[in-house]
Amino acid sequence: MSRIVVFGAGGRAGRQVVAEAARRGHEVTAVVRDPGKHQAPEGVDLVAGDVTDVSSVAALVKDQDAVISTAAVYGEGTDPHGFFTSSARALVESGPARLIVVGLSVLAPDATGQRPVDAPGSPPEFRPFCEAHAAGLEVLRESPVDWLYVSPAGDFDHEGPRTGGYRVAAAADLADRVSYADFAIALTDEATKPAHRRQHLLVTTS
């Protein structure tokens, strides 16, 4: 049994990874901003925390075997760059034994070697959000911790079921889809039995 803390546990990806880890019998701490607005599976410790605050993260990460962050912000009135850089720094500075951060496929090279975010026709209105993610990824790359940045090879299949499998993709492909539940299997596998380290891992349906 592993001890796993999940930041962003109230979101779609976060809820699924909490459920997957708990299903396997791991000791799971689910971190959200306001526990009163969320529910967690039986046996899961639902707690308040701020992934951008070093002291908050350090207290929650202490004695954990793995840390998974699915936390994100998007939309009017938010500061994605500040959020993703601050959260990455807080996670890194907390000294996790194993750190997994969920990110964007468009930051990984496609079959041509080009990042989809840089491709002609990439929506310019999304670029600041993508570059904010990239800045957070750079914080991970510059750190000494055992980190892994994981994203769908393309995007999530928002209504897709849990098939029980997934595969690692060699390149970003925006046509690819993976369900949140299968993505959670990959995150839990990497948290408990690391197979990839210090890289951007792309996951798609099996």
DSSP character for 139? H
Domain count, the chain: 1
Largest CA distance in the chain: 48
End-to-end CA distance of the chain: 26
pLDDT-based confidence at residue 74 (cuts at 50, 70, 90): confident
pLDDT tens string 102-147: 999 999 999 999 999 999 999 999 999 999 999 999 999 999 999 9
CATH of residue 111's domain is 3.40.50.720
pTM: 0.97
pLDDT at position 7 is 99
Please determine, for residue 32, whether its predicted confidence score (pLDDT) is greater than 80. yes
- Domain residues for the domain of 56 are 3-204
Q: 144 to each of 64, 97, 98, 197, how far by Cα in Å? A: 18, 11, 11, 11
* Mean of pLDDT over the chain: 97
